[in-house]
């Protein structure tokens, strides 16, 4: 060993020893802080339990304390007491024990909104529009929808008795609850010009297999030339299912996502494990502001690998990974343990929960701190703030009158009456809302309340109040009032101006009564602007390839 090597070793040795000593001291300090604060919490709780003037509900008090503590972290780290295990199963597995139907509340009454095909409520003959009178002896009148839901859910295999009122007649239906599992893929089919379409609602168990089965069917039966994967509104789910879906379109052994957290030994790299089904078919992935987590892994990795065109709106930006950890007494915690990184090396987490402003609110990453990365083919992409689409489409917001018609259940009630008069309709693909049906709907709502305020009306009202407080003269106030009247008069024509939007609402409500969820999706596809734009791109091979070039 020469002198230089001896010097280097001797020079760095004290620093290595010092570093190890600092590391050990740091760990000891953290352990002491943990023990000290646990003892303080225990002492506070024992003191309250033994000396507080009123009786304390121990479980509620501790749950409140835990929730307040977790509120300082991110919204995905949650504690679940034993009583919430059904909710945990629904969140993580997309399944629960129940009857398989949506319900809604209108006034002091609760109604069946939609029984899902093939599930207990549907098979027992319950229909949309049935009023729930009683569940297992509990009077449902005056109860809210959450209270009724709690009674409808229960252990799979347990008996349930529901009294309903339909067309003025009361009837009782008895059946058994089942394990309810919603389909990952509620619909797939050919839209037009041999373009396939797969709607993926969530990433629960077997999502990858379900998408693969749908894709195989579209290729073998319909010989599709392009594919649309619809991830709009998909809030994510299991990370491994996202990898399995990407695997359908990219080669085996391709790195898709890696996770990095505090415990380095738990960091993971996920690669495609199986031979792909098709590495050449053109693919468009539709996303929106509500596409999150596993949806962003699929969209982001296919973008990073230049394997698909991403279309729609910027995604939510959730790059955090949670693990479910069992605790004592059948309680559980869902804990954020790491961040995920897609093939280009970027993390798409939008909000930094470790740093908050003076009001205690976590904020989105500013554009100035975003870092540029490169896709496999050399295109520039950025971290933070979700996945930015290759083709941006401005989101279309529902007009106020459409929202009023939905939230006041006027379209729902009209569909209930429509079904009574029309035992059959054309197929989901062929049925349309004719002007005759639309005029019938207008006649149906003419004596009903569908009042609503537009954003313009609310702003003018605020403006008038401010003008009064600031003592503007009479002519100014009169001008504002005149403008308010003009807006009110213009709003009277909304049923005509937004006729197409309202027709689509009616189409959705009516078709689902005859052809269930699949029929609803199929009937609305021809009117979906983003789907049609995706089809046009897939039919234009030159434009498609140009987007994927650097």
Please name the residue ranges forming H helices in 293-422.
Answer: 294-304, 400-407, 410-421
Which residue stretches of 357-407 are H helix? 400-407
Question: What are the C-alpha distances in Å from 538 to residues 228, 281, 334?
Answer: 9, 10, 40
Active site residue 35: no
Catalytic residue (one of 230, 288, 304, 383): 304
Find out whether 376 and 304 touch, Cβ atoms under 8 Å. Answer: yes
Q: Which residues of 434-452 are buried (b: 16+ CB within 10 A; e: fewer)?
A: eeebbebbeeebeeeeeeb
CB of 109 closer than 8 Å to CB of 161? no
| Backbone phi, psi, residue 325, to 5° | -115, 120
* Polymer length in residues for the chain: 550
Distance between CA atoms of residues 363 and 254, nearest Å: 34
Q: Which of 143, 318, 503, 518 is catalytic?
A: 318
Q: Is 446 a catalytic residue?
A: no
Residue 298's closest CA among 200, 412, 367? 200
293, 301, 338, 344: the catalytic one is 293
> Is position 304 annotated as part of the catalytic site?
yes
**CB-count exposure of residue 56 (10 Å: 0-12, 13-18, 19+):** middle
Spatial distance between the Cα atoms of 465 and 467, rounded to a whole number of angstroms: 5
CB atoms within 10 A of CB 322: 19
359, two tokens? 């009001």
CB proximity list for 145: less than 8 A, separation 6 or greater: 103, 104, 105, 110
Q: How far apart are CA 512 and CA 521, in angstroms?
A: 9
Helix axes 410-421, 499-524, angle to 10 degrees: 60
Beta carbons within 8 Å of 154's beta carbon, 6+ residues apart: 97, 98, 160, 177
Q: What is the DSSP string of 480-526?
A: HHHHHHHHHHHHTTHHHHTHHHHHHHHHHHHHHHHHHHHHHHHHHGG
| Residues known to be catalytic | 293, 304, 318
């Amino acid at each position: 060993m020469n002198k230089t090597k001896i010097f280097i070793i001797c020079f760095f040795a004290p620093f290595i020893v010092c570093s190890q000593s600092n590391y050990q001291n740091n760990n000891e300090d953290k352990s002491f802080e943990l023990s000290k604060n646990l003892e303080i919490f225990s002492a506070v709780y024992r003191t309250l339990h033994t000396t507080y003037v009123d009786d304390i509900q121990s479980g509620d008090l501790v749950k409140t304390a835990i929730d307040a503590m977790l509120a300082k972290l991110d919204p995905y780290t949650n504690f679940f007491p034993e009583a919430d295990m059904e909710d945990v199963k629904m969140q993580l597995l997309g399944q629960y024990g129940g009857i398989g139907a949506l319900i809604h509340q209108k006034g002091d009454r609760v109604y069946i909104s939609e029984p899902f095909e093939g599930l207990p409520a549907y098979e027992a003959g319950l229909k949309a529009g049935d009023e729930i009178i009683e569940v297992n002896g509990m009077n449902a009148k005056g109860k809210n929808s959450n209270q009724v839901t709690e009674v409808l859910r229960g252990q799979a295999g347990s008996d349930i008795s529901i009294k309903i009122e339909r067309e003025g007649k009361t009837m009782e239906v008895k059946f058994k609850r089942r394990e309810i599992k919603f389909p990952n893929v509620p619909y797939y089919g050919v839209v037009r010009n041999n373009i396939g379409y797969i709607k993926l609602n969530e990433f629960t168990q077997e999502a990858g297999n379900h998408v693969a089965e749908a894709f195989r069917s579209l290729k073998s039966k319909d010989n599709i030339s392009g594919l649309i994967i619809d991830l709009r509104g998909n809030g994510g789910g299991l990370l491994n299912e996202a990898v399995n879906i990407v695997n359908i379109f990219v080669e085996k052994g391709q790195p898709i996502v890696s996770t990095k957290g505090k415990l380095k030994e738990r960091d993971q790299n996920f690669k495609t494990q199986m031979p792909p089904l098709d590495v050449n078919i053109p693919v468009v992935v539709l996303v929106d502001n509500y596409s999150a987590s596993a949806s962003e892994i699929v969209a982001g990795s296919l973008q990073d690998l230049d394997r698909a065109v991403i279309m729609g709106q910027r995604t939510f930006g959730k790059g955090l990974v949670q693990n479910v950890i069992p605790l004592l007494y059948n309680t559980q915690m869902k804990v954020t343990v790491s961040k995920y990184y897609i093939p280009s090396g970027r993390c798409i987490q939008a909000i930094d929960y470790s740093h908050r402003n003076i009001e205690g609110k976590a904020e989105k990453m500013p554009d100035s701190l975003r870092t540029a990365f490169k896709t496999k083919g050399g295109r520039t992409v950025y971290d933070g703030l979700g996945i930015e689409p290759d083709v941006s489409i401005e989101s279309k917001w529902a007009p106020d009158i459409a929202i009023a018609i939905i939230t006041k259940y006027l379209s729902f009630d009209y569909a209930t009456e429509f079904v009574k008069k029309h035992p059959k309709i054309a197929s989901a693909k062929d049925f349309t809302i004719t002007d005759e049906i639309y005029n019938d709907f207008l006649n149906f709502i003419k004596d009903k309340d569908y009042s609503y305020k537009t954003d313009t009306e609310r702003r003018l009202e605020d403006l008038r109040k401010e003008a009064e407080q600031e003592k503007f003269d009479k002519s100014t106030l009169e001008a504002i009032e005149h403008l308010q009247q003009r807006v009110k008069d213009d709003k009277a024509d909304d049923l005509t101006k937004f006729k197409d939007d309202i027709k689509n609402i009616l189409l959705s409500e009516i078709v689902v009564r005859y052809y269930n969820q699949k029929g609803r999706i199929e009937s609305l596809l021809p009117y979906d602007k983003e789907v049609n734009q995706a089809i046009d791109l897939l039919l234009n091979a030159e434009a498609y390839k140009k987007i994927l070039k650097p």
